[in-house]
Amino acid sequence: MEGGEPYEPYWQTRRWRLSLSEPQVMAIINVTPDSFSGDGVGEDYTAAIRRAEQAVEAGAAIVDFGGESTRPGASPVPAAEEWRRLAPVLTAVRDWPVVISVDTRKPEVMERAVAAGVDVLNDVAGFRTPAAVAVAARAGCGVVVMHMQGEPASMQVAPYYEDVVGEVEAFLRERSAALQAAGVKEEQIVWDPGFGFGKSFEHNIALFQALPRLAAQRPVLVGVSRKRMIGELTGVEKPAERAVGSIAAALAAVARGARIVRAHDVRATVEALRVWQRLGPRWGDAEARV
Ligand code: HH2
């Protein structure tokens, strides 16, 4: 991370060293009854596994399973309940030859997911607590360090920053340093500015424009799929109908240096990225990313 040196374009996860020399898609599988985009499968574990299979067939390199909605206004789900949702699904997929990720902010759930064989810990709270750092250090997993201001229940009430880009960058650097001090290797760490997590529309836009600055330091994951900022840009009200805007945003993110995009509409996102790589601005080209 020193001196703004370019990082190696790969991500070291528990079982896999994932190449990031091409953009990768992280498929979202919500084992929840209440996710914001309406894609949660509730208690239907077979549906979650089928959806994950389809995402892999469509070209997702990473499958991210979540058992708690962190949409604005969501109340926390107890760890036992979150794990009850995740356990059958993570057990079923544990030997799949793709990167298996768990989307959780609770160290207890991380611990169990690691024992169940996940490759990546995706923490929307950015490993803020010593307990989360300790699990990550023991796990040998890839980690997604995401920035969130506040907590889901109230984060969109009045998000405030003096300098949103500087503050998010400082948080990501500080948490990465804490993880590294505990033994996590730099190549295990991916950054995520956390679009929509305690950010106004203007904050999201400023962070999006600053992606090249973050991507010059660590590989960056961008999650804007079906989010409110896409609704605000397109005028499309229903999250489930925001695929086109989401895909345009995924391409824009990659053009600005993102290495991983988190998506609900996996097949369409993969197809768009394939075309973009051949016909769009040369990927990885510094001029094209700024
Ligand atoms: N966004 C959501 C959840 N987890 N993780 C990362 N790293 N980055 C994100 O932007 C991100 C995330 C919210 O989206 P979703 O999982 O579809 O919704 P919900 O939290 O309502 O289940």
State if residue 12 touches ligand 1 by the CB under 6 angstroms criterion: no
Q: What is the pLDDT of residue 284?
A: 58
Q: Is the pLDDT of residue 280 over 90?
A: no
Going from the C-alpha of 226 to that of each of 149, 169, 194, the distances in angstroms are: 20, 24, 14
Question: Which residue CA neighbors atom 9 of ligand 1 most closely?
Answer: 223
How remote is the CA of residue 3 from the centroid of ligand 1, in Å? 31
State if residue 175 touches ligand 1 by the CB under 6 angstroms criterion: no
What are the structural domains of the chain? Answer: 22-280 (3.20.20.20)
Q: What is the pLDDT of residue 92?
A: 97
Residue indicated by tokens 């169940």: 116
User: Rounded to 5 degrees, what are φ and ψ at 273?
Assistant: -65, -35
Q: Please state, in angstroms and rounded to a whole number, the distance separating the CA atoms of residues 273 and 280.
A: 9
Catalytic residue numbers read 227, 262
Residue indicated by tokens 């979150």: 82
In tens, the pLDDT along 110-156 reads: 999 999 999 999 999 999 999 999 999 999 999 999 999 988 988 88
How remote is the CA of residue 147 from the centroid of ligand 1, in Å? 12
Average pLDDT over residues 21-47: 92
CB neighbours of residue 174 within 10 Å: 12
State if residue 223 touches ligand 1 by the CB under 6 angstroms criterion: yes
In tens, the pLDDT along 75-114 reads: 899 999 999 999 999 999 999 999 999 999 999 999 999 9
In tens, the pLDDT along 158-216 reads: 899 999 999 999 999 999 999 999 999 999 999 999 999 999 999 999 999 999 999 99
Rounded to 10 degrees, the C-alpha dihedral 149/218/201/65 comes to -70
Q: What is the pLDDT of residue 223?
A: 98
Question: Which residue CA neighbors atom 12 of ligand 1 most closely?
Answer: 124
Among the listed residues 232, 237, 267, the one whose alpha carbon sits nearest the alpha carbon of residue 250: 267
Q: Please state, in angstroms and rounded to a whole number, the distance separating the CA atoms of residues 176 and 139.
A: 15
By the 10 Å C-beta count (0-12 exposed, 13-18 middle, 19+ buried), 105 is classed as buried
Asked if 67 and 104 count as a contact pair (C-beta separation under 8 A), the reply is yes
Average pLDDT of the chain to the nearest whole number = 94
Q: What is the pLDDT of residue 157?
A: 86
State if residue 227 touches ligand 1 by the CB under 6 angstroms criterion: no
How remote is the CA of residue 289 from the centroid of ligand 1, in Å? 24
- DSSP per residue over the chain, as a string? -GGGPPPPSEEE-SS-EEE-SS-EEEEEEE-SS--TTS---TT-HHHHHHHHHHHHHHT-SEEEEESS--STTPPPPPHHHHHHHHHHHHHHHTT-SSEEEEE---HHHHHHHHHTT-SEEEETT-S-SHHHHHHHHHH--EEEEE--SS-TTTTTTS---SSHHHHHHHHHHHHHHHHHHHT--GGGEEEE--TTSS--HHHHHHHHHTHHHHHTTS-BEE--TT-HHHHHHH---SGGG-HHHHHHHHHHHHHTT-SEEEESSHHHHHHHHHHHHHHSSPTT-HHHH-
State if residue 143 touches ligand 1 by the CB under 6 angstroms criterion: no
Q: What is the pLDDT of residue 286?
A: 52
Q: What is the pLDDT of residue 7?
A: 52
